[in-house]
Amino acid sequence: MRRRSVLANVAALSLVAAMSSGGPAAGPAAAEHPRGHTITYDRYSLMIDGERVWLWSAEFHYFRLPDPELWRDQLEKFRAAGFNAVSLYFSWEYHSPAPGVYDFSGVRDVDRLLRIAEEVGLYVIARPGPYVNAELDSGGYPGWLNTQVGRARTAADDYQAAWEEWYDHVNAIIARHQITDGGGSVVLFQIENEYDRNDAVYMEELKAAARGDGITVPLFHNDKGRNLRWASGPGAPDLYGTDTYPSGFDCNRSSFPSVTDYRFLRPGVGERPFIWGEFQGGAFDPWGGPGYERCRTMTGPTFERMFYDNNIENQFTVHNIYMTYGGTNWGWQADPNVVYTSYDYGAAFNEQRELTQKVSVLKQQAYLVASVADLAKTDDLGPQAGTDPAIRVWVKENPDTGARFYFVRHADSASQSSDTTVFTVEVADGVYQPTVAIDGRDFKILAAGYDLERQRLVYSTSEIMAHVDLGDRDVALLHGRAGEPGETVLRYPGEPRVEVLSGAVTSTWDAALGDLRLDYVHGGLARVRISDCGGAPLDLLLADDETASTFWRLDTRSGPVLVRGPYLVRSAEQRGATLRLRGDADRASPLEVFARPHVRRVFWNDRPVRDGAVPGPEPVGFPALSGWRYTRDVPEADPAFDDSDWVAADRVATNNPTKPATLPVLYTDDYGFHYGDVWYRGRFAGAATGISLTAGTGRAGIWSIWVNGVHLGTVQTGTASGNQNSTGAFSFPDGLALPDADNVVSVLVRNMGHNENGGSNDNHKAPRGLLAASLAGSDAALRWRIQGTRGGENLIDVLRGPQNNGGLHGERAGYSLPGFSDRGWAEVSLPHQETAPGVAWYRTTFRLDLPRDQDVPVGLRFTDDPARHYRALIFVNGWNVGQYVNDLGPQRVFTLPQGILRHQGENTIALAVWSADATTGGLGQLSLEALGNYTTDRR
């Protein structure tokens, strides 16, 4: 292998890597890169050019949002919500239809993605696998990898040659965007993912290859489940990362477990920062599952508060939330066993890119770690007893500044009770006894002895969300649970002037100590102006949580601003007396700006702001979907159909670790058809009385069989976990099979996707298509031909890529494409009743004329009785945007991504409907709807 020779140099290479990235030990080892920045680290955090940074990162999958414009939209939303990093898996199969063939253009243009991330102000954690998992078909491996001899995720030669090819292509792009020497914002690079075999040679090869490809940022691994695998020793990258999903993936669950103390990792991690390669931010949901709103509830604001605050306490200064935006498994991207078309994930941002209620807590936490730099370097002082043992107070201190942080929650983090404790705050400013309430599952991070801009915060029982120096004054935003009391003490050299501008706040001045104490109850927004205090005045904003979340903190070249009011504020630009804000509003909303004093004019989306308010969106409407055209489309079932140009399926051997029960081998991947539907036509001459078939489809798959044009049955693979294959045995009606003639068996099999390979057991190779075929009552041979997607080297639809289409006749004939003429088809209206099993196509067109300056995510809704047995592949303007399964669900609304859907103009929708029988098939009602409506300014 090309890099085998490098193996000998691995030790030397690792040394270079350690030097350029600061090495496992803290210190000034960083070599200055001539064009770029340095990344170093110690036990507390990463440092970029020597500055500590808390990476608050959002997992994002570009391949699940097929429109670069929307990448910018979503990345801007992350940034606005306080994320300073985005973690990207790269899906190998999304880019590679065949060995040696790679595409990084259009919706696959990751160079553009990395540029956008940098422009938006996000660091990037690059995770190109080669294996990623991610609920993807084959865990992200290209279809062509499924026929390799060597075991994947080992040092097997054929596997290594393949991933080296991928690495070379993708790393060339990633390397250009590294912060170290590429002029971009990539700060970390992940090797493999949850690798739980012990093949250190493989890991060393990956590391050496990454370095060989010019990757100079620190390398890390995402160890499944905090086992300290690959933390040190042969195969270990520079840094140790791990993951956890404490709530699991059954979204029927209504509660979640207790939080965990992760300090046990310290001896293994040593003088390196704690890294969450992934921390649960939602969950996937399987065919027939409870639906994503349940996942969002399971991992909702209380979950976020408990677990992410606990992570802050545990010093996870690289903190990546999986997923923060999930997106859509469009095309044949999904692993069928765990997920359907939507990959919404119950994440903080839903599939249609809206902010859910989960953003509020995340934003508070993100703003906290960004504002309170002292948090990034803290040592444990340990627990401290208060008056109520039910409440645990954990103390940490920044050794440089002496600032202390009190992490307060119930000792039993599952406790639902409501308690109050008095505990001791001991800082340079003195010793205090604040009172803190913890109501149910809640967590608070309180600061004391802290230099808050130009103020001295002695302590507060409100949490800090943000503070800014606006030149003539400081502004601090503190928050707490609505209805709970708060106390904040600030230190001044002399008695300041205190004006309570709104809300009920009492102030007490202790001249002996120089303490100004404010008492209040969190509710709405209280404003206190503290001036004549010997330094910069302070505008103190005391908010309840909900109100706090209406604030946005933005950076401009002339310093930060705070903005309050609208649904989303994307960016701020300050030039002279003018502040230009860009953002979205779901309704007419108040707008309040906290900016430098010379700012006199405020623009919102390029229009001057009048009366302190921004306008809401115009209402929108949608045409009814009508004018449907219909055609049945199973010519392959007709015995007279000419299949002479199909591939002969006559192989008698396979590389697949699962050997076929009957010959020839009929595995679809072995014949180069990796995605979607595949047709088989078999011939036999003999007095057979029946036929038995086993098909590998993946969970919830389907197949149908015809003999001499007669439909014998349709079989659905079960939806219970672990189901992938299904068997059917059919007797031939009298006279169907003629002993001396060529009898024709036509079988259509849906490949729902390949399994993941999480266990490194080659599970992605579990075969798809027909696995076994045998006649009853005859030992005549079956001679087969097979037809599938025009993929691999023959991929025609390069734009939509290898996973867009399968091998339905209509897909091959262009029925799914907008340019196709369906004028000869029958006119029908929906709902429509089908009278024969098998595939039929429905097409119509519609015009949209949505306002250009509004973001209107559009959904396609199916309405029907789930007792009807059919499913539909949905093509919008030729793009396969998903699969609707009427008798399974749970998904009944499909997000149609803008970019694929023309918001101003003509659209074509084509559905390939597969009816299981002659009586319950057809197609129900379809309608378009607005899933949201916002004024916006996207760039």
Residues that bind ligand GAL (CB under 6 A): 132-135, 193-194, 222, 224, 243, 278, 284, 322
DSSP-assigned letters across all residues of 556-601:
ETTEEEEEESSSEEEEEEEETTEEEEEEEBSS-EE-EEE--TT--E
Q: Which residue is nearest to ligand GAL (CB)?
A: 133
Two tokens, residue 276: 């969450």
Cβ closer to ligand GAL: 225 or 234?
A: 225
Contact in structure between 15 and 7 (CB atoms under 8 Å): no
DSSP-assigned letters across all residues of 642-685:
--TTSEEE-----S-SS--SSSS--BTGGGT--SEEEEEEEEE-
Q: Specify which residues 726 forms β-bridges with.
A: 695
Cβ closer to ligand GAL: 134 or 348?
A: 134
How far, in Å, CA of 344 to CA of 324, rounded? 9
Distance (Å) of CA 765 to CA 91, 190, 670, 792, 934: 17, 24, 10, 17, 45
Q: Which of 118, 194, 463, 636 is catalytic?
A: 194
Cβ closer to ligand GAL: 276 or 706?
A: 276
Residue 73: helix, strand or coil by DSSP? helix
How far, in Å, CA of 237 to CA of 802, rounded? 33
Cβ closer to ligand GAL: 133 or 365?
A: 133
Cβ closer to ligand GAL: 195 or 732?
A: 195
- Is 487 a known active-site residue? no
Residue 877: helix, strand or coil by DSSP? coil
Say which DSSP state 431 is in. Answer: E
Query: Could you give the angle at the alpha carbon of 398 between the alpha carbons of 394 and 401, nearest 5°?
Result: 135
Cβ closer to ligand GAL: 190 or 360?
A: 190
Two tokens, residue 538: 């302070």
| Residue of 772, 719, 777 lying closest to 743 (CA atoms) | 777
CB of 301 to ligand GAL, least distance (A): 20
Cβ closer to ligand GAL: 285 or 937?
A: 285
| 265-277 exposure pattern, b = at least 16 Cβ within 10 A, e = fewer | beebbeebbbbbb
Contact in structure between 239 and 272 (CB atoms under 8 Å): yes
How far, in Å, CA of 298 to CA of 249, rounded? 9
Contacts of 819 (CB under 8 A, 6+ apart): none
Q: Which of 205, 278, 351, 834 is catalytic?
A: 278
Contact in structure between 659 and 670 (CB atoms under 8 Å): no
Contact in structure between 542 and 488 (CB atoms under 8 Å): yes
How far, in Å, CA of 465 to CA of 363, rounded? 9
Cβ closer to ligand GAL: 87 or 877?
A: 87
- Is 51 a known active-site residue? no
Contact in structure between 447 and 405 (CB atoms under 8 Å): yes
Cβ closer to ligand GAL: 139 or 878?
A: 139
Active-site annotation, residues: 194, 278
